[in-house]
Amino acid sequence: MFDATTILAYKADGKAVIGGDGQVTFGHTVLKNNATKIRKLHQGQILAGFAGSTADAFNLFDMFEEFLAARKGDIVKAVIDFSKAWRKDKVLRRLEAMMIVLNTEHIFILTGNGDVVEPEDGEIASIGSGGNYAIASARALKKHAEMDPENLVEESLHIAADLCIYTNHEIKTLTLTKSTQ
């Protein structure tokens, strides 16, 4: 995990939601509080979030966007091709970075090691230094509270921010619904 951020993704009830905090750190110093680490890709049909260096994020988002375009938005084929290319590239595979990508049907965690992980439950994934706090919170809230997906992601990230010094309360979320795909 990276001492960089917290990204949480959740899909349920025909919605896909991704959220991230806004804190950017350099070592033990906060450089920025309101960064955006999530974005919509492929004409707003795919959500993506990133943990790692900001410059690396832009390169990997652009690279993944190219694979989505080549695969006409097929997220499953795009993540496989993207992960192969990421793993084979001598420079990119050394990046300390992870991504979450999702739509209303699939959710994946991607790494430079070539990992393509679809969570066992197929609903919740997290990355970053506060990722374990966020996913534990999301699982508990899903089980014990009646919350819509946006509120569940936001509240889980706030809980993570209370516990992880590399995560703050400047939470941003993006949402897709089946009708927007």
pLDDT tens-digit readout, 25-42: 887 888 899 999 999 999
Q: Across 85-89, 144-148, 172-176, which has the greatest mean pLDDT?
A: 172-176
Q: What's the whole-number mean pLDDT along residues 134-142?
A: 97
For the beta carbon of residue 92, count every other beta carbon within 10 angstroms.
16
Closest CA relative to residue 38, chosen from 21, 59, 25: 21
Using 50, 70 and 90 to split pLDDT, how confident is the model at 133?
Answer: very high
For the beta carbon of residue 20, count every other beta carbon within 10 angstroms.
31
Q: What angle do CA 74, 79, 81 make, to 5 degrees?
A: 95
Checking if the pLDDT of 61 tops 70, the result is yes
Positions marked catalytic? 5
